[in-house]
Amino acid sequence: MFRIADTIRATTTADGGILMDVHRGQMFCLNAVGAQIVELMQQGYDESRIADEISRRYDAEKETVRADVVEFINALQKHHVVKSVRNGKLT
C-alpha cells in the first residue's frame, strides 16, 4: 500500500488532478488516469488492485496497465509524493 506524503496537497480538476508539494514548492499535473490512480492509492489499493481497476474501467490489457501503474507510482516515489507502507511502517 501507499500513503500520500504529508507535504502534498491534492485537488481534482475536470481534466484530472493537481498535486502540490508545499514543502518543496513543486506542482504535478495529472491526467484523468493519474488522478484515479492517486485516488485508489488513497483508498488503500495496492499496485495489483489499482492495475485491475484501471484495466476494468478502460477495458485495457492488464499487463500493459500494470506496467504503466508501476512506472507512475515509481515516479511519484522518486519525487517524494508517495511513500510505500509495509507492515504498518513507511519504507
Residue 91, in any domain of the structure: no
The β-bridge relationship of strands 82-86 and 2-4 is antiparallel
Q: Which domain holds residue 67?
A: 2-85
CATH number for position 31:
1.10.10.1150
Is the confidence at residue 90, as pLDDT, over 90? Answer: no
Look at the chain and report how many structural domains it folds into.
1
Residue 69, in any domain of the structure: yes
Residue 28, in any domain of the structure: yes
Residue 18, in any domain of the structure: yes
One-letter amino acid for residue 80 of the chain: H
- Rounded to an integer, what distance in angstroms lies between the CA atom of residue 78 and that of residue 28? 13
Residue 90, in any domain of the structure: no
pTM over 0.85: yes
User: Tell me: the pLDDT tens digits for 5-61?
Assistant: 999 999 999 999 999 999 999 999 999 999 999 999 999 999 999 999 999 999 999
